[in-house]
Amino acid sequence: MPEASCDVLVIGGGPGGSTAASLLAQQGYRVVLLEKARHPRFHIGESLLPANLPILERLGVAAPVRAIGMEKWGAEFVSPCDGRRQEFAFARAWDKSMPLAYQVRRSEFDEILLRRAAQLGAQVIEGCRVRDVDSLETHPARDAARPVRVHAEHDDGRNETWTADYVIDASGRDTFLGNRLKAKRRNKKHNSAALYAHFAGAHRECGKREGNVTIFWFDHGWFWYIPLADGATSIGAVVWPYYMKRRSTSVQDFFLATVALCPPLADRLRNATLISEVEATGNYSYACNHSHGANYLLVGDAYTFVDPVFSSGVMLAMNTAVAAADAIHTCRTQPARTRAAFKEFDRVSRHGPKHFSWFIYRVSHPTMRELFLDPRNVLRMEEALLSLLAGDIFGRTPIWGRLRMFKVMYYVLACARLTRSFRAWRLRTLNIRTETGT
């Protein structure tokens, strides 16, 4: 068959891929987006952050997302011992202009973004799986890179090939180019697995707290509790690999038994009914050893994923998609700035995971639990932490000095109880070395 051509080919129709395709199509580029599934399709990761909202406004989808969303005014953390909980309201963050986000069904949210990309001029092809890519240039970007050839298979068995000046890999945890280039690496600093499902009839709070995401710590990891607008509630357990390897029953029975280990969560689900299949996934934390080549870019989870505890996945995917679109536009319109454009994209790609990771690696440490359950706004440190939880890390909000002070306080308090901290460090070290089994 004759080859088709385009300026940019996007692999994956999730939030990252649709965002990049929309922005590039808006600027007049010929964009092809290939999505292996057909929307709507199930996906986990339903909790957005306030920092998502400006991008939704830019894409012109704020109203339809608001229509399907449950208002999320904050996050709650619940003690594993006595059920004590602490609420963090986004309105108390440093920047008061982003007080809320939304909980969304990803099948609906992702379809809104995908259809918007098509409305803006991108050629969206569903049921089309990329099988191979030729002519990738992994060396540092030059002023002009050779086109990429992308081979794909439609779900009716037809094969098709495109040539594109640039490829954006937004394939999520499939990490198509990361695997193709053997660039994907297990995260040696973190290791976890997850079980998740949807329930109906779960107990909810009243007023603004109804839509809060809740994090329940327990002995083997933590749970998420995400209420959705249609009455369903997303429940997931992110656990250490050793715990997942204990499973000797069905995934569903194992998941329900795991829920029973967390009394505060089990109480909320006392009258609830399981309404979906229970899914399990391992090898949760990874990173690719580079974010781009001369003619390709890795966006969102296609580049790296650590842990969903702070609901940062969609926000980071959409932000790196914006950065990818900006980089390609700069390369096309100002070739002399090609290297600088890719360098800026790489900086943005690393910035988010770097700053979230420090907290993710320590979120189960007893000292961090105590700080989260008894926050103090000394020298505006709580406001800075809330800005991080809101995803406000890419703008000019001056939080970094206060976050450094928070880290110093954490280390001082951890050293004050050195024996406990050493036990926690040793246990975590053993946990992340265990291979995951599902």
Report whether pLDDT(81) > 70. yes
CB 205 within 8 A of CB 45: no
| Whether the predicted pLDDT of 37 surpasses 90 | yes
Work out the number of other CB atoms within 10 angstroms of the CB of residue 29.
20
The pLDDT of 82-104, averaged and rounded, is 94
The answer to whether residue 426 scores a pLDDT higher than 60 is: yes
Q: Is the peptide bond before 40 cis (omega within 30 degrees of 0)?
A: yes
- CA 29 to chain CA centroid, Å, is 27
By the 8 A CB rule, do 309 and 176 touch? no
Residue range 164-190: mean pLDDT, rounded: 95
% of the chain beyond a pLDDT of 90 = 90
What's the CA gap between 436 and 72, in Å, rounded? 32
Per the prediction, the chain carries an average pLDDT of 94
- Look at domain 70-102+191-284+362-438 and name its CATH class: alpha beta
For residue 337, give the amino acid letter. R
DSSP code, position 415 = H
- pLDDT digit string, tens, across residues 58-76: 999 999 999 999 999 999 9
Euclidean distance between CA atoms 184 and 305, whole angstroms:
11
* Residue 182, SS3 per DSSP: coil
Predicted local distance difference test score (pLDDT) of residue 46: 97
Distance CA(220)–CA(239), nearest Å, equals: 6
- Kindly report, residue by residue over 185-195, the tens digit of the pLDDT: 999 999 989 99
Please choose, from the candidates 191, 254, 78, 244, the residue with its C-alpha nearest in 3D space to the C-alpha of residue 427.
Answer: 191
**Per-residue pLDDT for 222 more than 70?**
yes
Mean per-residue pLDDT, 227-253: 95
Neighbours of 435 (CB within 10 A): 12
Find out whether 161 and 154 touch, Cβ atoms under 8 Å: no
What is the residue whose two structure tokens read 């954490």? 410
Side-chain half-sphere exposure of 284, counting CA atoms within 13 A: 27
CA 162 to chain centre: 29
Contact 392, 402 (CB under 8 A): no
User: 249: helix, coil or strand?
Assistant: coil
| Cβ atoms of 204 and 212 closer than 8 Å | no
Residue 237, pLDDT above cutoff 90: yes
- DSSP annotation of 283 reads -
Q: What's the whole-number mean pLDDT along residues 274-288? A: 90
| Architecture of the 4-68+104-185+288-355 domain | 3-Layer(bba) Sandwich (3.50)
DSSP string, 189-235: T---EEEEEEEES----SGGGGG-EEEEEETTEEEEEEE-TTSEEEE
Q: By C-alpha distance, which of 144, 128, 105 is closest to 13?
A: 128
**Per-residue model confidence (pLDDT) at position 284:** 74
* CA 103 to mean position of chain CA atoms: 14
Q: Would you place residue 138 in the very low, low, confident or very high pLDDT band (cuts 50, 70, 90)?
A: confident
Band (431; pLDDT cuts 50, 70, 90): confident
- Length of the chain measured in residues: 438
Report, as an integer, the average pLDDT of 99-106.
Answer: 97
How many Å apart are CA 70 and CA 231, to the nearest integer? 10
Sheet holding 286-288, edge to edge: 184-186, 286-288, 304-305
Tokens in use for 258?
């795991």
Partners of 298 in beta bridges:
169
What pLDDT is attached to residue 269? Answer: 97
In the chain, what are the domain boundaries?
4-68+104-185+288-355, 70-102+191-284+362-438
**Which positions ≥6 away from 428 have C-beta within 8 Å?**
364, 365
Q: What is the DSSP letter of 282?
A: -
β pairing state of 221-227 and 232-239: antiparallel
- pLDDT at position 3: 81
Mean pLDDT of 363-392: 95
**pLDDT of 159 over the 90 cut:** yes
Please give the backbone phi and psi of residue 183, each rounded to the nearest 5 degrees, phi first. -100, -10
Alpha helical stretches, state H, 139-196: 176-180
